[in-house]
Amino acid sequence: MTSNLSDGVFIRRLLLAALVVALLVAAWLLSPLLLIAFGAVLIAMALRALAQPLGRAGVPDTWAIVLTTALIIAGLIAAVVFFGSEMMSQWQALDARLGSLLAEAGKKLGVNSLEELVAGSGASGGIATMLPRFLSWGASLGQAVFGAGIMLVGGAYLAVDPKTYRDGVLKLIPPDYRANAIATIDDIGEALHRWLGGVLVAMALVGLMTGLGLWIAGVESPLALGLLAGLANAVPYIGSIVAAVVTIAISAGQSWEAMAGAVVVMIIVQQVESNLITPLVVGRAVAIPPATGLFAIVAMGMLFGPLGVLLGFPLSIVIDIAVRRLYIRDALDEPVEILGDAAQRSDNTVTVKAERGG
């Protein structure tokens, strides 16, 4: 009897281990789809945040989301109508300047084209072996654009009725662990909400300050470079570095005075963004240590290409809170702060809410 019981326990554990392995393999194979789904969640959160003023005015959620989406589309169309031609001319000038800079760099490295530089010809023979994963970005860039379209559509659906999808996920979790999952999802949602709002504000302010500063400094194409700096700010650490390098390289081809002005502008904007804008609009509650965030972005980029770089930092927020909530607080029962407050054990969450009538 004992032997049969032990055999049954062993078989159940073996099946459970096989199921876990199968789920991990499936998650790895479907990781691009999971990234797209995560991006759709961020878009849904942004739409719902922007639709809040209409909701407070009494507009139903569905119509608030639809009207917000329509206003965003109308704003983009208006921007193209009023600033499209000027922006296009500045982007063309920027593209031409970047092309000439790459050509000059290729000559110094002993190559005649960008293809030879990537392949490792001439004096740059070691470049192709330094970052092999990033060499496939040209192909994955098209996939990222397609994924972005799926994210936009999926985000709109999620924004209209998020409760249905949230409840569906929770039903897949065993009841004994559902309170932990609820607390974790709530914490992650609040953290991503703070981060997303801060990033949108920071992108707008950084783009505005950069464009205005470069215009005052007399740098060519200030509107295009300001837009580049604002968009690049969506990727912490790496984005600002790339925008600064491109801006300084463009201004260096114009004059020494323009380059000096560009350097001053980029330094001032970076200091204002890191010491004033980010702490005020995001706060320290969702701050990720710089090294952790940087390694997360690089790792996600090497694994999944451009989409991984774009979503690497918010994913690090999700992982950080999940580890704090599920492992440090609930499993180890160690005190930990989440979103700036001391976290309570999540297995008491449902009971406390029931006692309060919530």
Pair (183, 148) in one structural domain: no
Q: Decide if 11 is inside a domain.
A: no
Pair (327, 226) in one structural domain: yes
Average pLDDT value over all residues in the chain: 75
What are 186's two structure tokens? 């709530």
Residues 257/218, Cβ–Cβ less than 8 Å: yes
Last residue of a domain, one of 94, 121, 153: 153
Q: Decide if 27 is inside a domain.
A: no
Q: Tell me which of 92-106, 125-139, 343-357 is least confident.
A: 125-139
Pair (294, 183) in one structural domain: yes
What secondary structure letter does DSSP report for 329? I
CA–CA separation, 32 and 300 (whole Å): 11
Range of the domain at 315: 173-358
Confidence band of 95 (pLDDT split at 50, 70, 90)? low
Which residue, chain included where needed, has tokens 């309170």? 179
pLDDT, residue 45, reads 87
Overall residue count recorded for the chain in this entry:
358
Confidence band of 352 (pLDDT split at 50, 70, 90)? very low
Pair (198, 311) in one structural domain: yes
Pair (223, 344) in one structural domain: yes
Strand partners, 341: 338
Residue 323 has pLDDT above 70, yes or no: yes
Pair (126, 216) in one structural domain: no
* SS3 labels along 19-74: HHHHHHHHHHHCHHHHHHHHHHHHHHHHHHHHHHHHHHCCCCHHHHHHHHHHHHHH
Give per-residue pLDDT as tens, 190-237: 888 888 888 888 889 999 999 999 999 888 878 888 888 888 888 887
Pair (196, 114) in one structural domain: no
In terms of average pLDDT, the best of 133-147, 171-185, 336-350 is: 171-185
Cα 54 to the center of its chain, rounded Å: 26
Last residue of a domain, one of 121, 153, 185: 153
The pTM of the whole model exceeds 0.75: no
pLDDT, residue 132, reads 43
Pair (233, 319) in one structural domain: yes
Pair (146, 220) in one structural domain: no
Q: Tell me which of 73-82, 284-293, 329-338 is least confident.
A: 284-293
Which residue, chain included where needed, has tokens 């706060």? 283
Residue 257 has pLDDT above 80, yes or no: yes
Q: Decide if 222 is inside a domain.
A: yes
Residue 157 has pLDDT above 70, yes or no: yes
Strand partners, 337: 342
Give per-residue pLDDT as tens, 327-337: 888 878 888 87
Residues 193/159, Cβ–Cβ less than 8 Å: no
Residue 150 has pLDDT above 70, yes or no: yes
Residues 328/300, Cβ–Cβ less than 8 Å: no
Confidence band of 8 (pLDDT split at 50, 70, 90)? low
pLDDT, residue 6, reads 65
Across 241-264, average pLDDT: 84
Residues 270/179, Cβ–Cβ less than 8 Å: no
DSSP track, 119-158? HT-GGGTTHHHHSGGGGGHHHHHHHHHHHHHHHHHHHHHH
Pair (228, 301) in one structural domain: yes
Cα separations (Å) of 249 from 92, 182, 256? 16, 49, 11
Helix, coil or strand: residue 344: coil
* Residue that wins the pLDDT comparison between 281 and 240: 240
Q: Decide if 164 is inside a domain.
A: no
CA–CA separation, 162 and 165 (whole Å): 5
Q: Tell me which of 53-57, 144-148, 185-189, 352-356 is least confident.
A: 352-356
Confidence band of 315 (pLDDT split at 50, 70, 90)? confident
Q: Decide if 137 is inside a domain.
A: yes
Q: Decide if 20 is inside a domain.
A: no
Cα separations (Å) of 346 from 84, 286, 305, 321, 354? 51, 19, 35, 13, 14
Pair (118, 249) in one structural domain: no
pLDDT, residue 97, reads 66
Pair (197, 318) in one structural domain: yes
Domains of the chain: total: 2
